């Protein structure tokens, strides 16, 4: 076993996870619970994770909730079932804790659309602007930012700047355009987007609306403007979930990654949730990065404490400042 493990560790950079065979008869749910106790570990999962992972998580949330949870945890090990920038954010907030991720190749197209070297040049061309960055970005971009936002606090944080303050918003042009619209600002937008939220088919959604005339269309602000214009409600994943819990409608067409439907169905079992279809042959829209994580990989990363997030201290400190600012403003706003 020691040799197999050694070989898997050597292949970690290529594969992104420890490729060690797991006994198929093992009860992974029970094993993960055991490891949580043994290692004083907490499992934080994003709503886009597969249902089994959500079911073993200690906390499931949107990006803001996950960052807040990571900041306050007293666990020794944080198991981050999400994508790389989320685990990195947890490490930035917890330098002395071990932060493991089931698969460190779980990236993000939005984060990748904004390389720090290019963004630094863009920023230098606009020295009179402050930089507001969506949390879906690398530590390198966070270090170049004045404040970080998520989809649940972006409006409040942008409005915390005086109206005349010039702002660069990165990396999501769709969320940026939406925030420009709801705040009346004219932020300069980096040209990035999320591969999942950009490919919804308006034609198929319109057909679904005709077939389900009582269904409300709810959408994440990473979607493009034409879809957002059609939506009855726009919000972060937590915002969408809460809306379906408190609203009177019985049917919803949900325009975000399908993982969120698990919690919506659990919270409102009598309601009908229809995933908004993308413009390809699939009926629903999965994030290929989020879905790299599996229950088996969660178990393996907890057991062997790899892959774990390692950060340069100078970069960590620079990236922490705008995250701290976000957490402070959110707290003051009661979020
Ligand atoms: P929220 O969960 O913060 O709404 O973000 C959605 C998302 O795309 C995360 O990658
Ligand atoms: Fe990134 Fe989009 Fe996947 Fe979220 S859903 S992790 S923004 S690619």
pLDDT tens for residues 133-157? 999 999 999 999 999 999 999 999 9
Quick one: average pLDDT of 24-33?
97
Residue 62, ligand 1, Cβ within 6 A: yes
201-240 confidence digits (pLDDT tens): 999 999 999 999 999 999 999 999 999 999 999 999 999 9
Residue 261 clears pLDDT 90, i.e. is over it:
yes
The protein residue with its alpha carbon nearest to ligand 1, atom 1, reads 62
Residues 33-38: contacts with CB under 8 Å, at least 24 apart: 35/299, 35/302, 35/303, 36/302
**Percent of the chain clearing pLDDT 90 (strictly above):** 95
Confidence of residue 284 (pLDDT cuts 50, 70, 90): confident
Q: Which CATH superfamily is domain 110-195+316-332 in?
A: NadA-like (3.40.50.10800)
Q: Do domains 110-195+316-332 and 200-275 have the same CATH topology?
A: yes
- What pLDDT digit, counting tens, does each position of 89-135 carry? 999 999 999 999 999 999 999 999 999 999 999 999 999 999 999 99
Residue 109: predicted pLDDT: 94
Ligand nearest to the CA of residue 65, numbered in listed order: 1
The full set of domain ranges for the chain reads 2-106+290-310, 110-195+316-332, 200-275
- Ligand whose nearest atom lies closest to the CA of 220: 1
The CATH architecture to which 2-106+290-310 belongs is 3-Layer(aba) Sandwich (3.40)
CA distance 32 to 48: 20
CATH no., domain 200-275? 3.40.50.10800
- CB contact burial 287-316 (16+ within 10 A = b; e otherwise): bebbbbbbbbbbbbbbbbbbbbbeeeeebb
> What does the mean pLDDT of the chain come to?
96
Q: What is the pLDDT of residue 3?
A: 85
**What distance lies between CA 60 and its chain's CA centroid?**
11
222 CA to middle of ligand 2, Å? 9
């Amino acid at each position: 076993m020691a040799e197999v493990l050694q070989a898997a560790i050597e292949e970690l950079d290529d594969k992104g996870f420890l490729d060690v065979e797991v006994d198929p008869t093992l009860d992974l749910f029970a094993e993960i619970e055991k490891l949580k106790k043994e290692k004083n570990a907490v499992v934080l999962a994003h709503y886009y994770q597969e249902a089994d992972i959500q079911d073993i998580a200690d906390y499931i949330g949107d990006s803001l909730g996950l960052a807040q949870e990571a900041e306050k945890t007293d666990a020794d090990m944080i198991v981050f079932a999400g994508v790389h920038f989320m685990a990195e954010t947890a490490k930035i907030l917890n330098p002395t804790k071990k932060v493991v991720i089931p698969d460190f190749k779980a990236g993000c197209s939005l984060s990748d659309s904004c390389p720090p070297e290019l963004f630094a040049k863009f920023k230098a061309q606009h020295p009179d602007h402050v930089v507001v960055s969506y949390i879906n970005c690398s530590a390198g971009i966070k270090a170049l930012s004045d404040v970080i936002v998520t989809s649940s606090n972006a409006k409040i944080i942008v409005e915390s700047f005086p109206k005349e303050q010039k702002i660069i918003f990165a990396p999501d042009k769709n969320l940026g355009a939406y925030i420009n619209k709801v705040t009346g600002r004219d932020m300069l937008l980096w040209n990035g987007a999320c591969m999942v939220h950009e490919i919804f088919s308006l034609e198929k959604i319109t057909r679904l609306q005709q077939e389900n005339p009582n269904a409300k269309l709810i959408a994440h602000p990473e979607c493009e403007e034409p879809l957002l214009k059609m939506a009855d409600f726009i919000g972060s994943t937590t915002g969408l979930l809460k809306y379906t819990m408190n609203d009177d409608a019985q049917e919803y067409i949900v325009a975000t990654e399908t993982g969120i439907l698990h919690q919506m169905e659990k919270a409102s079992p009598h309601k009908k949730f229809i995933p908004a279809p993308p413009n390809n042959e699939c009926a629903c829209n999965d994030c290929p990065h989020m879905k790299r994580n599996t229950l088996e990989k969660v178990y393996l990363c907890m057991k062997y404490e790899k892959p774990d997030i390692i950060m340069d201290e100078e970069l960590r400190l620079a990236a922490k400042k705008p995250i701290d600012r976000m957490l402070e403003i959110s707290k003051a706003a009661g979020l």
